Structure 1
């Protein structure tokens, strides 16, 4: 396996290095394709993964979904099948051998399109599964990924060939050992499909209060079924997911605006500034003001190196 994969990963690494200006997350000329580069092992980052295929081309990375850890390296790939708030940390990176990553976002509609054009079996009654998984890299998948990335050297081919190569990548994922997890996001009526709708509702309305019965009605489930299936997909409860979204947005606002922590707490939906401060400290390890000062010092140090 390694003899087939590693030379192609070297080629992919060179393509990434030649198509990005430096460290950070870089959008490419191919829609929904992003390249990542990081030359130091800085602290964990917090954000939301859209449905996507993620590859570590060079280095290694840890991703936490709630308390569940997903470790992956160049021999693996990670898939998020629904929108999920995560904590991620690059664990192998240096100036000489930087971390390099590949992320291709996709939609349930694109999954359904592949299913409609193939003979892959579908079972809408299958139980909900975790919305994130790590699988071992297969040569056929890496071949399709490379074909897509090579288009950056021939941009005139992107409009015609990129959609075809994306479709092949999704087809390979659906054929993989965790393909059933991916199918469920596109099958109307499946448990995962209904939980996906609830996740989207919470993400779009995280700053307001809601009743759990309201979410259960949106999913067409009983309250107990909603709790069970939601936790199976996201590894957390609806309230825990909402809290993580609020705190992530609060941190983002504090970093980009000269705003008081109390004002931010109210903006993201908290009624009690003291509760906000406690939960912020629990998630990020420091009270809001101290955390933001620390982050700004860290960014300035990184920028000056």
Structure 2
């Protein structure tokens, strides 16, 4: 079998800290996740990244792997040294999971198995070293152990969703070993809530998926409230008027008061995440000054300076 250089796969040095490994893994997992990357080879690369993280994020597995030495090159034929016995066990979670208990609200949802062929198992190299006791968990972005010898109990993991998934409701697929589960994300869920999949955990226990929002290019959520920053030209802030504002439900017009200030917050009631009491959207105003890129531009600013000669921004 071929030796796998897990450090090279994640693009980190052999002295990388756990935080550096976590950052590298998350970046690559987002890049090659099959839900987002449809290029040929992306799924195989995603599995490879998951496997590398499964080893390097686990202190016992990493220690055992490092004991093999740093002189191996990826692709070389490899066999475990005589007497090799990994004593770290196969229990626990891979680096993509957080095993802390959940104390926030839970949302119950159904899950249905959808046949074989999920995110798949690990390589022969991994199996020879660690017993092959892990399978991919693509939906939550990390390694997930098979608990064939575990006692029944709830299994916990994190599931990253988009703000739009909460606003509109969504269906998501996650892979556990060779099982694919369909997960319904209800409208109005918030970060930290848990979806319980009855009977889908270890040995007949439940699978608890703690929801977290993926970073969004425009919006940020706090509970059911949504925050967005909108840029203004100086004359828009001074004169006021109709201001187009993006929301999760589409663009709306906000009545911008005259003499608005940078850093000021305006509220769009009920435009946050849905619920029995919908959240609000808060619009943070940011004034952007046009550059004085030409003589004509400078002349305008000089005229303004003369017109507002009595205005002292450091006193007002």
Which interval holds the TM-score relative to the shorter structure?
A: under 0.3
Question: Comparing both structures, which one devotes a greater share of its residues to strand?
Answer: 2
Normalised by the length of structure 2, the TM-score is 0.22
- Relative contact order, CA 8 A, sep 6+: which one is greater? 1
Question: Comparing both structures, which one devotes a greater share of its residues to helix?
Answer: 1
Considering only CA atoms, is the larger Rg found in Structure 1 or Structure 2?
A: 2
